[in-house]
Chains A and B, each alone.
Chain A
Amino acid sequence: MGIPYFPGCTLHVKAKGLDDSTRATLAALGLELTELPEWTCCGTAFPLAQDNYMGMVASARILAKAAKEGDGRLVTVCSFCYNVLKRVNFALKNNDEARTKLNAYLEENYNGELRVLHPLELLRDDLGFDSLKTRVDRKLKGMKVACYYGCMLSRPAKEMEFGEPENPALMEEFVKAVGAEPVDFPYKTKCCGSYQVLNNYDLVAGRVKDILKAARVRDSEVIITSCPLCQFNLDWLQDRFADEDKSFSKIPVLYFTQLLGIALEISVAKLGLDNHYVDPKPLLQAG
């Protein structure tokens, strides 16, 4: 029996590479994950209106079911899922009204006892980065990596407990542990434009250009993230940018677990590297 794991909707098809690489890498490091038996969408966006408990019901039910697994932990890797599950869990634990209203609605009682964990936290706390260092090949030595957290992992700081709201460092520690070199990346928690991609191309294109440029300025060879929507926004638009501007040079956008998989020499087929718009395969030859 592994640690209870909530993959999230997008990881079933669109971000299958994130799901596959998360399971494969953590299993290779002795951290087996077991998918929850039945789960729904988490709701993705935490409701910010004080009385919007309806927006928390889906996450609350997922947490209540996960608590029945008896492990005391729930692991999820998608930044949106992580953000909303952790925030709803916080509300269930600390907000009496939220707890009362949500429990009146659920099929079972749950009071926020779980710890919602990101795989980066598992790697740091359960495995340890020192131990991770001894497990990786030297393949990534010297590779310059831009760690892109996006807006979901570290904010709000009090609820997420993921480091400084604008300057978290966990992903950089991870990059060092796998033998690569994190670059100084001031745009690491700037939002990519998120769901505005649905009907606001200019907003997203502007943000993505700035983020890619900031990564390029520091000679990054790859950007890593744990968010399928950041990954999509940063990756998908590059073809169009390259068409518009012949001097634009593309930069692959990987999930951090895919980078970990490369470092652990897990077979490429298990890492889902084929579904990226900017081909990350040349990186594999780098080492």
Chain B
Amino acid sequence: MAAENKMVSIYIMGKQYEVPYGVTIMKAMEYAGYRFIRGCGCRGGFCGACGTVYRKPDSFRLKVGLACATMVEDGMHLTQIPFYPANRASYKLEELSPSLGTLLQHYPEVTRCLGCNQCTRICPQELSVMDYIAAAQRGDIEKTAHQSFDCIMCGLCASRCPAEIVQYNVGILARRLYGRHIAPRAAHLAERVGEIKAGKFNDELSRLMQMSKEELQRRYEARDIEQ
């Protein structure tokens, strides 16, 4: 019982609050009276909306995490950086060529990278951000796409970059170029889409739509699951 009632002191934007031990930063902030209109999304560590920078009292190092997935600790200083007003190029993907020139035309600032590695250190997804920017700088779109694949676009990398590079937007351009222009086409997918368009599954779909909830539930539970 005592452990459950334990409180810790945290500092949100410099102001001290007493909040329950063992809750996430996001819950602690709500406990302290903050109400999220922005900077909060899935609450499950996937959407990247609640990037937060914090520091523990015994170190000068800045750390980061998602507010919904990081536990508060006693003496923690924190602020959310849910959005960063960083450069975002607009383009029509189908008109672009998957080339170094395209990357440089949209984000010439990638060549300003100093190699300081702060982006990699701060990434809450533990991506090798500096390495995928290095790959972008040399025009290796495939590598940039693969190495940035788990990016959740929280923007913390851009907040730390002394060269004002927007790593996450470079990453998504590379993934789009890769997906649209480089990755091999999946023949079976095109075939299946063709079948759907041709109405091959219409009868089956309409049967499902007329089923009772109980019957749907029964079928759902009895379905084959890929292991």
Contact = CB atoms under 8 A, between A and B. Distances in A.
Chains A and B touch each other in the complex, with CB atoms below 8 Å apart: yes
B116 interface: yes
Interface in A190-235: none
B137 to A, nearest CB: 5
Nearest to B131: A38
B82 interface: no
Q: How large is the interface on B (under 10, 10 to 19, 20 to 34, 35 or more residues)?
A: 10 to 19
| A contacts with B: majority SS | helix
A13 B142 CA distance: 13
Of A11, A14, A59, the most chain B CB neighbours within 10 A belong to A14
A41 interface: yes
Contacts of B133: 40
B179 interface: no
Of A9, A14, A54, the most chain B CB neighbours within 10 A belong to A9
A61 interface: yes
Of A8, A13, A39, A55, the most chain B CB neighbours within 10 A belong to A13
Contacts of A55: 114
Q: How large is the interface on A (under 10, 10 to 19, 20 to 34, 35 or more residues)?
A: 20 to 34
Contact of B113 (A8, A12, A41, A62): A41
B52 to A, nearest CB: 25
A54 B114 contact: yes
Contacts of B137: 9, 40-41
B128 to A, nearest CB: 8
Contacts of A8: 138
A40 B130 contact: yes
B159 to A, nearest CB: 18
B115 to A, nearest CB: 3
A274 to B, nearest CB: 16
B100 A13 contact: yes
B131 A40 contact: yes
B109 interface: no
Given A12-B140, A40-B133, 8 more contacts: A8-B138, A11-B138, A41-B137, A41-B138, A57-B115, A57-B116, A58-B116, A61-B115
19 contacts: A8-B138, A9-B134, A9-B138, A10-B138, A12-B140, A13-B139, A14-B139, A38-B128, A40-B115, A40-B131, A40-B134, A54-B114, A54-B116, A55-B114, A57-B114, A57-B115, A58-B115, A105-B116, A107-B117
